[in-house]
Amino acid sequence: MVYLFYLQVVRGKYFYQVSEGNRREIYLQSRPRGIIYDRDGKILADNRPVSVLFLSLQNLNEETLKQTLEQLEKKFNFSQKELFERINLEKEKLVLRLKEEISREEMLKLEENRINLPGINLQIELKRRYPLNNFAAHLLGYLNEINREELDRLFLEGYRPGDFIGKSGIELTYDNYLRGEPGGMEIEVDARGRQKRIISNFFPSLGKSLILTLDSKLQAVAEEELINKGRRGVIIVLEPQSGEILALVSSPGYNPNLFIEKQPEEVKKLLNDSSLPLFNRAIQGRYAPGSVFKIITAIAALEENKINLNEEFYCSGSFTLGNNTFHCWEEKGHGHISFLPALIHSCDIYFYLLGLRCGAGLIEDYAKKFGLDTVSQIDLLGEKKGFIPGKVWKKKYLKQPWYEGDTVNLSIGQGYVLVTPLALANLAAILANRGKLLQPHIVKKIVEEGEVVQPQIIWEASQKEILHLEISEKTWQIINEGLGKAVDEGTGRAASISGLEIAGKTGTAENPHGEDHAWFVGYAPIENPRIAFAIFVEHGGRGGVSAAPIARRLILTYLKNKNAQITSVSPLSENESN
């Protein structure tokens, strides 16, 4: 309503003076958006020229409007009824966009009949395009026409009816930078609204362009592993020492061009798709972390001196607590097992008992220290918090006491605990940096591009430390050793690469709605890590089978892109994948 008042009262006076005093019509062109590039200059989003047919109502009386609509129906197959309905529905608009993508034949016909089409004008605009279609869709986001609520909120910032604005992803977060300034023309018309001459032209200006941190080669491999293979899930790869996101995939994906090209049936399919292709699982999905959470329990126990590395627990394959029996993934059991072998082989029974020794409160505290229940403020809007349960929460909201069985579940990342894939990618980065987390981000630079001069940098991302944990060097050494051996000889060996030290932890998260989910989280190389990652495969079963092999391929791709030298890389054997 605020915008309507502005248009009718404030701007309405201006348009009245224009039309009554000078018999002019004003046609505004849409705002051309800035270009989006990957880190190497590859275009991910640009604009293409389109012809647009406009109908201006500024100088049309009832008679001339009727004449124009009759001609549009007769010569160009428009429906008079539908056009009248649009005019009544969009009363606040002084200029209506009738059609885009006008053919050459239609253009010639328009010129021939222009004298009988008062209020009609044809212009060339730049329209958003995603040349790679589905590529990096959840990261880039999509555009759609501004709605009434958005218009009321944003009209003072220059938005107007018909504008396309960012609805998700980078297109939403950086909309103010990406949108350019509209162009248009003033046209003199006669008393019947027929065009006589162009009084002035004002050209649109391109919005600011974005250079992303995205590595398209790595992104392509990640998409092949999930989207192209029809698997739901998430892959996030980042540089721990800078916080730069190198790849971010949420599967299934979608084609953002569908919204620009106004294909309502296709958009309706997306909105009604039960696999939720528009849902960004990377930042909005919340899942049980499964055995990846054992890293938290392990660090809590080491830091608080709850365990001696040589102390053994016995794993028979099951563990009874009161009336409940909890099982290990290894049905035959691991036998007598100490800390490092338990971490390497992900023994559930060992971590049940370790969790009970630590206590739920301690595990909860350490999970929160690692930020698993907070947002990292990545430059994608809509990031969700994880959830770390505890005694106080359960008593307050479920009206139930906390049981030892809850502690058993918490110690291996089951029960009530939920995390986002981004939170576990951040966990990997914290481990790689030995306690530090740099804010993850996708935009590297904002630049203003000119036709002649070099792009001018408007803004450049800086490294921002958002978390710093005081963990002993001894603990980091033990965790590094355990996660390294988990890849070399344990549950994560499907990720191993000969000659390269990789740290990783598998996770298999129980899913009450179907097959278990698969996780693999890690970083490489162990000394001076250059990438950290979180891989999540919905209904993927065991993390060592579904997720770890993906990590191996991502690491090899990264090393190839960086021309990094490693010793011989052997193909993955059948044994290594199980």
Q: Would you state the pLDDT for residue 574?
A: 34
Residues in the chain: 578
- Percent of the chain as helix, strand, coil, to the nearest 5: 40, 25, 40
User: What are the residues facing 505 on neighbouring strands?
Assistant: 521
Q: Would you state the pLDDT for residue 15?
A: 43
56 and 28 in contact (C-beta within 8 Å)? no
Residues 6+ apart with CB under 8 A from 575: none
Q: Would you state the pLDDT for residue 92?
A: 61
- Assess whether pLDDT exceeds 70 at residue 18: no
- Assess whether pLDDT exceeds 60 at residue 47: yes
Angstrom distance (rounded) from CA 4 to CA 10: 10
- Assess whether pLDDT exceeds 60 at residue 1: no
Angstrom distance (rounded) from CA 366 to CA 260: 46
Q: Would you state the pLDDT for residue 262?
A: 77
Is domain 216-272+279-577 annotated with CATH 3.40.50.720? no
Q: In the chain, where are the structural domains located? A: 2-212, 216-272+279-577
Answer with the residue of higher pLDDT: 283 or 20: 283
Q: Would you state the pLDDT for residue 4?
A: 43
Answer with the residue of higher pLDDT: 109 or 354: 354
CA angle 355, 426, 340 (to 5 degrees): 40
Of 7-11, 219-223, 474-478, the poorest mean pLDDT is in 7-11
- Assess whether pLDDT exceeds 50 at residue 158: yes
pLDDT tens digits for 472-529? 999 999 999 999 999 999 999 999 999 999 999 999 998 878 899 999 999 999 999 9
- Assess whether pLDDT exceeds 50 at residue 106: yes
347 and 315 in contact (C-beta within 8 Å)? yes
* 3 phi/psi in degrees, rounded to 5: -65, -40
Token pair of 244 as six digits: 């730069």
pLDDT tens digits for 426-456? 999 999 999 999 999 999 999 998 765 678 9
Per-residue pLDDT, averaged over 326-342, amounts to: 96
Q: Would you state the pLDDT for residue 96?
A: 77
Closest CA to 544 of 488, 478, 479, 480: 488
Average pLDDT of every residue of the chain: 88
The total of other beta-carbon atoms located within 10 Å of residue 515's CB is 11
How many angstroms separate the Cα of 541 from the Cα of each of 235, 248, 269?
16, 22, 29
pLDDT tens digits for 201-212? 677 788 999 999
CA angle 430, 432, 436 (to 5 degrees): 35
Q: Would you state the pLDDT for residue 561?
A: 84
The CATH fold assigned to 2-212 is Penicillin-binding protein 2a (Domain 2) (3.90.1310)
